[in-house]
Amino acid sequence: MSAPHILVVDDEPDIRRLMREILEDEGYVVSIAENGETAREARRTRRPDLVLLDIWMPDIDGISLLKEWAPEGKPEPPVIMISGHGTVETAVEATRYGAYDYLEKPLSLAKLLITVKHALEADKLRRENVGLRKTTQPLIEPVGRSLVMKDLRDQVERIAQTEAWVLVSGEAGSGKELFARYLHSRSARADGPFVDVVVASIARENAAIELFGNEDGANVRYGLLEQANGGILFLSEVGDMDAALQAKLHAALQNRSFLRVGGREAVAFDVRIVSASHRDLDQGIQSGRFREDLFYQLNVVPVKIPPLRHHGEDVSDLLSYYVDYFVMHERLPYREFSVAAQNRLRNYGWPGNVRELKNLVQRLLILGSGDEIGVDEVDVALGTATQHSPGVASDFDLPLRDARERFERAYLEHQLRATGGSVGQVAKLAGMERTHLYRKMRALGINPKGEWQEK
């Protein structure tokens, strides 16, 4: 993993030299700029992890530069302001425009180092929180005492010690992202970012900007690939990537550099790629939907996540874990599964895998009552879940209209899950006009902005 990159912007040569020496002694990579123009160029050439920015400079003041880099009050990357002739008003203004902190000259070296450390830690925590908001999957060591799970954890831990790129495959809901995060936590890049890209959720017309960023004059937007520098870029459901983006990604991975949209010079990156797909990419290659050269780039080390039905002995541990999880994080009442209920679930087929188990536990804690969850309550809940499970027949005792609505609802919910909530892609898969699809979802009570992007 690369060390954090810090950009020092100051018009005093002695200050630049001093800060560079101090920070490099602490293991940071340091670039320097003597004024606003060279700072813009340095920031454009390579995304720093932190900027130390002087306020008083000959061509442009640091506050104006901060505003330029933080149009919405959130500078990217974080900025620490420095000044030898500042006032309380200046410090307040810098904070209002998103500066992490404000240091006065002459610099206290101890305060400089602790502020830099805290700024980098705060930015890491912010990025982790953004990732957590995108997924309801808790960051844990994968649960399970079965031989299948033990061997899988051991395999992932061995792979984590290398820099090899990984392709994770498995059925929907089996825990592909969880294992990718587990790999990240055990790797030398654990302190770096884990940037999660749900491929199907990226609008096709903006896909290159989202992934590679763009430049518009002095304004630079860093893409997801650049944001993952020093860490892992997780490409979720990579099989859904369209042909044009596949070509651009292949070229970037081949060269280990890319051009931002509108950019003039190639940008190098240091990122470990971990991809995941529930689709058969070999079939995608045969049908022409997926590039063979990109597949071999991504599939350096394959990891296969087994479906839950192949390690049913782990069901009891998973039930216990998710009961504790929902009691602690959502303050739901504690309820315990009876032995008979656990046995019933250990022998259930779990078409939705661990995601289905998690949702079942949440449903039983919300809707049930009493201290114990019995087998009869589980059977009723499984009947409800089965009606919404893709590939399971509707109840033939229902009137035709109700059965058709139930199937349509299950079908559209499945497609939303598979496409990461992309209504446009669902419309194409279903062969429907988008406006008609929206009307159909409203009639069926489906929220198009629901949590369809779970891994």
Judge whether 424 and 433 are in contact, CB under 8 Å: no
Judge whether 140 and 324 are in contact, CB under 8 Å: no
Q: For 5-133, CATH number?
A: 3.40.50.2300
Judge whether 290 and 284 are in contact, CB under 8 Å: yes
- Secondary structure of the chain in HEC code, one letter for each residue: CCCCEEEEECCCHHHHHHHHHHHHHCCCEEEEECCHHHHHHHHHHCCCCEEEEECCCCCCCHHHHHHHHCCCCCCCCCEEEEECCCCHHHHHHHHHCCCCEEEECCCCHHHHHHHHHHHHHHHHHHHHHHHHHCCCCCCCCCCCCCHHHHHHHHHHHHHHCCCCCEEEECCCCCCHHHHHHHHHHCCCCCCCCEEEEEHHHCCHHHHHHHHHEEEECCEEEECHHHHCCCCEEEEECHHHCCHHHHHHHHHHHHHCEECCECCCCCEECCCEEEEEECCCHHHHHHHCCCCHHHHHHHCCEEEECCCHHHHHHHHHHHHHHHHHHHHHHHCCCCCEECHHHHHHHHCCCCCCHHHHHHHHHHHHHHHCCCCEECHHHHHHHHHHHHHCCCCCCCCCCCCHHHHHHHHHHHHHHHHHHHCCCCHHHHHHHHCCCHHHHHHHHHHHCCCCCCCCCCC
Residues of the chain falling short of pLDDT 50: 132-139, 384-395, 451-455
Angle between helices 315-330 and 353-367 (to 10 degrees): 50
Judge whether 372 and 334 are in contact, CB under 8 Å: no
Q: Are 147-304 and 308-387 equal in CATH topology?
A: no
What's the token pair of residue 314?
A: 């782990």
Judge whether 62 and 18 are in contact, CB under 8 Å: no
Judge whether 422 and 402 are in contact, CB under 8 Å: no
pTM of the predicted protein model: 0.67
Nearest to 378 by CA among 403, 410, 344, 355: 344
Distance CA 77, CA 47 (A): 8
Judge whether 29 and 5 are in contact, CB under 8 Å: yes
Q: What is residue 129's predicted lDDT score, i.e. its pLDDT?
A: 60
147-304 sits in which CATH class?
Answer: alpha beta
| 280 alpha-carbon distance from chain centroid | 22
Phi and psi, residue 357, nearest 5°: -60, -45
Q: What is residue 134's predicted lDDT score, i.e. its pLDDT?
A: 47
Q: Which residue has the tokens 């937007």?
A: 221
One-letter identity of residue 390? P
Q: What is residue 452's predicted lDDT score, i.e. its pLDDT?
A: 47
Phi and psi, residue 62, nearest 5°: -65, -30
Q: For 308-387, CATH number?
A: 1.10.8.60
Distance CA 322, CA 328 (A): 10
Judge whether 412 and 434 are in contact, CB under 8 Å: no
Phi-psi region of 340 (alpha: psi -120 to 50; beta: other; left: phi over 0): alpha
Q: What is residue 46's predicted lDDT score, i.e. its pLDDT?
A: 85
Judge whether 269 and 226 are in contact, CB under 8 Å: yes
Burial class (CB in 10 A: 0-12, 13-18, 19+), 142: middle
Domain assignments of the chain as residue spans, ordered by start: 5-133, 147-304, 308-387, 400-444
Q: What is residue 135's predicted lDDT score, i.e. its pLDDT?
A: 45
Q: What is residue 58's predicted lDDT score, i.e. its pLDDT?
A: 86
Judge whether 405 and 445 are in contact, CB under 8 Å: no
